[in-house]
């Protein structure tokens, strides 16, 4: 019985430690939308794990975020990096965050199809 409890304690300690380390490496990218545009026209990041936080500054009744690899068709939802979607549509004066997104080196495009923004460039070095 003592062996089972000891093994259980070790497994739980490892699980909590791994989760804490995972959270430490996550960075937040804050994006603000106004009428017809994002205020951030281009973003340069390092490779890593990110959460996108989108705020709606009277841009539209509801806004969102689409992230695609450069060259992909943004109209095709299969090309969207779905973890970059905000958890729910962002209403006036509110903020919402995405899930964690792992970004490798390359060029990406981000835009909002609801606020009809242009496609902006996100570079990962």
Domain boundaries, the chain: 26-124
Across the chain, mean pLDDT equals 87
In the CATH scheme, what is the homologous superfamily, with its name and number, of domain 26-124? Cupredoxins -  blue copper proteins (2.60.40.420)
Distance in angstroms (rounded) separating the CA atoms of residues 83 and 94: 20
Buried residues in 61-90 as b, exposed as e (16+ CB within 10 A): ebbbbbbbeeeeeeeeeeebbeebbbeebb
Cβ 108 vs Cβ 42: under 8 Å: no
Tokens of 30: 């804050």
Per-residue pLDDT tens over the stretch 9-57: 443 444 444 343 345 799 999 999 999 999 999 999 999 999 999 999 9
Predicted pLDDT at 112: 97
Distance in angstroms (rounded) separating the CA atoms of residues 101 and 106: 14
Q: Tell the residue number behind the tokens 């981000």, with chain if given.
A: 110
Higher-scoring residue by pLDDT: 71, 16: 71
Distance in angstroms (rounded) separating the CA atoms of residues 4 and 12: 12
Predicted pLDDT at 89: 97
């Amino acid at each position: 019985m003592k062996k089972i409890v000891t093994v259980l304690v070790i497994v739980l300690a490892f699980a909590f430690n791994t989760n804490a380390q995972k959270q430490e490496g996550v960075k937040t990218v804050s994006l603000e939308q106004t009428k017809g545009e994002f205020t951030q026209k281009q973003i340069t990041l390092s490779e890593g794990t990110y959460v996108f936080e989108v705020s709606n500054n009277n841009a539209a009744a509801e806004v969102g975020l689409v992230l695609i690899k450069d060259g992909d068709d943004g109209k095709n939802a299969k090309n969207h990096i779905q973890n970059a979607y905000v958890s729910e549509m962002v209403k006036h004066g509110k903020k919402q965050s995405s899930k964690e997104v792992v970004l490798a080196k390359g060029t990406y495009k981000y835009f909002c199809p609801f606020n009809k923004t242009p496609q902006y460039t996100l570079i990962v070095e």
